[in-house]
Amino acid sequence: MRRGMKRLMLVCMCVLGTCACRRTLPADPAPSVLPVPRSEIYGGGTFRLSAATPVVAVSDDERTAWAVGALDELYAAVFGPEAQPRRTDAAADGAVRFVCSDAMEAEEYRLTVDPDRIEIVSGGPEGAFYAVQTLRQLLPRAAFSGADAVEIPCVAIEDGPCLVYRGLMLDVARHFFTVEEVKRTLDLMAMHKLNVFHWHLTDDQGWRIEIRKYPELTRVGAVRKRTLVGRDPGGEYDETCRYDETPYGGFYTQEEIREVVDYAARRFITVIPEIEFPGHAVAALASYPWLGCTGERYEVRQTWDIDDRVFCPGRETTFEFMEGVLEEVLELFPSEYIHIGGDECPTKMWERCPACRARMVAEGLTRPRQLQGYATARIERFLLERGRRLIGWDEMLDGGVTPTAVVMSWRGTEGGVRAARQGNEVVMAPTTHCYFDYYQTADTVGEPLAWGGCLPVEQVYSLDPLEGLSADERRFVRGVQANLWTEYIADFEQAQYMLLPRLSALAEVAWSLDRKDVAGYRSRAERLRGLYDACGYRYARHLFAD
Ligand code: ACM
Ligand code: ZN
C-alpha cells in the first residue's frame, strides 16, 4: 500500500514538474538582435519574465505610454490576451523599469537585463519603444506559442540608429490594401525599427484617399473597370492582351486615414502621404476632366506603363484643385514631409496645350520640362507657408528644383548625390537596392510574377547610401527607403513575401550602417525568421539553408 502511494506521488510530482518546466521557457541558446545594435554583451544567467513582472515607468506622458504599451502587447502575445503588466512606482527589484536620460538622443537606448531586473534607459519614448522591440527578439521563440514565464538572457545592449529616415513605401493604388493589412505592414516596420511609412495613395490606376471637396476622386477615380492580366507589354495593347473584366477599387475614408496615422504614431512611425503631381494623374483626370490639357474624359487606367495624360500646369484651376486636396491632406497627416511624386511625367500634352504654352511664355520658360519645376515650386510654396516640406522623386531635379525640396533618389543614387552636392536633403531609394517589386532570385521559376529585375537580399544589404559623398555632403542624406510597387502583387501574402526578409537587410543598412557585416547578418536573419514564423508572416527562403 505504502509503495503504491509513493509511486503515485512520484508520478504526480513528475507530471507537475514537467508542466512547470514546460511552461517556464528557458532562454534560447544563441539570441541575437537585428538590426545589429552598437554593442551587445551577453553575461551569465537569465531574468525570469512572467505576467506578474511589474513595470515601473518614470513618466506618464502620452508618448511614454505608447512605448510601455508595446510591452503590454508583448505580455499579451506571450502570457495571454488578459495579461497586463502591473504598473508600480517603486524601484522594485524584479521589475521592468523605464528611465529617461538627457544624455541620449531620443531614439537611443540602453537595455540591461540582470537576473533581478530589466532596465531600459532611453533619450525619448521612441528609444524606449525600440528597446521593447529588442527585448521581443531576446525572448525564446517558443514564447509566442504561449507560456507562464520565459527566461531572458542577461545582456547589456547599447543602441541607436545611424540614419534618421528609415522608410518603406507601399503602393496602394495598383493593389489596394485594407486598413488591417496596412496595420500589419506597420507592425512589420516596427519590428525592424523603421520609422517612415510612405503611403503612395494616388496613381493612374486608382485614387485611394477621400477628399471631401472633390468627391468624384473616390466615386470615379477609385475604381478601374478591369485590369490587365499578366505582364504589361509596354504600350503595345492589342488583341493579345487579356483583361480580367472585373471592376477593381477601394479607398480610405478620412476616418480610416486617421486611424492608420494614429496606429503608426503609437509605433513611432511617421506617415508621409504621396499625392502624385503632375504625372501619374489619370485617375484624377478621369474624375475631373478639366484637370487635363484637353478636357477629355478618360477611364481610370487599366494597364501599367507610363501615361502621357498628366495634370495641366497651364491652368489656374489645376493649382486650385491641388491646394484644395492638400488642405485636407495636411489636416489628416501631421508629417513634416508631404510627398508630391513628380516621377515619370511626359511633357507631350503640355507641348500641344495653349494654356501650357502661354504659361511658358508668361514665366519665361524655354523647355516644357521647366513647367514641372514651375508647378512643383508653386506647390512647395503652398506647403512651406503651412510649415511643411515638399519631398518628391528625383525627376524634380530635371525641371529645376528649389534648394528646400527633399529629393527621393530612385533612378540609381546619382540623383541623390547630385542633390546632396547642391545642398538638397536626400532619401536614397535606388532601384538597384530598394525596389522590392523585383525578383529576389535570378532563377524565377516558381516565383510569383514580379516587375522584373533581380534584387537578392544580399544586394539590398550592400547598399551604401553615403557612397561618393564627402563628409560635408553626407549630412544631407537623411536615410533610405524600400519601395513596394504593386502592379504584380496579387494579395497581402505576396506583399509579405516580397518584403521579407529583404526588409531586414534594409533595416540594417538604415539602423546599423556603420557596423554592417554580411556574415553576421545572415545568422541574425536566420534567428529573426523565427519571429516571422511566430507572428505568422510569410517570407522568401532564398537566404536560408532550407
Ligand atoms: C518610380 O519608381 N517611378 C518612382
Ligand atoms: Zn496644359
Residue 250 alpha carbon to ligand 2 centre in Å:
29
Just list the catalytic residues.
Answer: 203, 280, 344
Q: Lowest-pLDDT range, 217-226, 230-239, 431-440, 461-470?
A: 230-239
Average pLDDT of the residues in 444-448? 95
Q: Lowest-pLDDT range, 2-16, 25-39, 231-245, 413-427?
A: 2-16
Residue of 410, 432, 436 to test ligand 1 pocket, by largest number of atoms within 8 Å of CB = 410
Residue 278 alpha carbon to ligand 2 centre in Å:
11
* Exposure of 299 in the CB half-sphere (CA atoms within 13 A): 9
Considering the domain architecture, whether residues 96 and 169 belong to the same structural domain is answered as: no
Q: Please answer whether residues 452 and 499 qualify as being in contact, where contact means their C-beta atoms are separated by less than 8 angstroms.
A: no
Q: What is the CATH number of the domain that holds 76?
A: 3.30.379.10
Does residue 9 form part of some domain? no
Residue 324 alpha carbon to ligand 1 centre in Å:
25
Report the nearest-CA residue for atom 3 of ligand 1.
Answer: 343
Average pLDDT of the residues in 29-39? 94
pLDDT value of position 135: 98
pLDDT value of position 1: 38
Q: Which three cell numbers stand for residue 535?
A: 507572428
pTM reported for the whole predicted model? 0.95
Report the nearest-CA residue for atom 2 of ligand 1.
Answer: 410
Considering the domain architecture, whether residues 317 and 465 belong to the same structural domain is answered as: yes
Considering the domain architecture, whether residues 172 and 141 belong to the same structural domain is answered as: no
Does residue 408 form part of some domain? yes
pLDDT value of position 91: 66
The residue range of the domain holding 401 is 165-535
Q: How far apart are CA 73 and CA 546, in angstroms?
A: 31
Considering the domain architecture, whether residues 151 and 169 belong to the same structural domain is answered as: no
Does residue 1 form part of some domain? no
Residues with CB under 6 A from ligand 1: 343-344, 393, 410
pLDDT value of position 10: 41
pLDDT value of position 251: 98
Considering the domain architecture, whether residues 173 and 63 belong to the same structural domain is answered as: no
- Residue 13: pLDDT band by 50, 70, 90 thresholds? very low
Q: How far apart are CA 132 and CA 152, in angstroms?
A: 13
Considering the domain architecture, whether residues 111 and 243 belong to the same structural domain is answered as: no
Per-residue model confidence as pLDDT tens digits over 95-146: 999 999 999 999 999 999 999 999 999 999 999 999 999 999 999 999 999 9
- Residue 89: pLDDT band by 50, 70, 90 thresholds? confident
Q: How far apart are CA 160 and CA 334, in angstroms?
A: 24
Contacts 24+ apart (CB under 8 A), 363-371: 369/398, 369/399, 370/399, 370/400, 371/278, 371/313, 371/314, 371/347, 371/399
Last residue of a domain, one of 142, 159, 176: 159
Asked if the model's pLDDT at residue 238 lies above 50, the reply is yes
Considering the domain architecture, whether residues 143 and 187 belong to the same structural domain is answered as: no
Q: Find the ligand nearest to 481 CA.
A: 1
Average pLDDT of the residues in 1-26? 50
Considering the domain architecture, whether residues 99 and 118 belong to the same structural domain is answered as: yes
Residue of 343, 397, 455 to test ligand 1 pocket, by largest number of atoms within 8 Å of CB = 343
Asked if the model's pLDDT at residue 221 lies above 60, the reply is yes
Q: Which atom of ligand 1 is nearest to the CA of 408?
A: 4
Per-residue model confidence as pLDDT tens digits over 280-327: 999 999 999 999 999 999 999 999 999 999 999 999 999 999 999 999
Q: In which region does residue 301 sit, left (phi positive, over 0), alpha (psi from -120 to 50) or beta (all else)?
A: beta
Q: How far apart are CA 315 and CA 371, in angstroms?
A: 12
Q: What is the CATH number of the domain that holds 205?
A: 3.20.20.80
- Residue 538: pLDDT band by 50, 70, 90 thresholds? very high
Does residue 372 form part of some domain? yes
Residue 313 alpha carbon to ligand 2 centre in Å:
6
Total structural domains in the chain? 2
pLDDT value of position 235: 85
Beta strand spans in 115-237 (E): 117-122, 149-159, 165-171, 196-200, 202-203, 206-207, 223-224, 228-229
Which H helix or E strand runs over 114?
strand 109-114
- Residue 263: pLDDT band by 50, 70, 90 thresholds? very high
Average pLDDT of the residues in 427-439? 98
Considering the domain architecture, whether residues 450 and 489 belong to the same structural domain is answered as: yes
Report the nearest-CA residue for atom 1 of ligand 1.
Answer: 343
pLDDT value of position 60: 75
- Residue 201: pLDDT band by 50, 70, 90 thresholds? very high
pLDDT value of position 347: 98
Residue 536 alpha carbon to ligand 2 centre in Å:
49
pLDDT value of position 283: 98
Q: Which residue has the higher pLDDT, 402 or 494?
A: 494
Q: Indicate the pairing of strand 149-159 with strand 24-25.
A: parallel
pLDDT value of position 498: 98
Neighbouring residues of the ion ligand 2, judged by CB less than 5 Å? 293, 312, 314, 353, 355-356
Does residue 546 form part of some domain? no
Considering the domain architecture, whether residues 127 and 189 belong to the same structural domain is answered as: no
Last residue of a domain, one of 159, 178, 205: 159
Whether a cis peptide bond, with omega within 30° of 0, leads into 278 is yes
Considering the domain architecture, whether residues 152 and 170 belong to the same structural domain is answered as: no
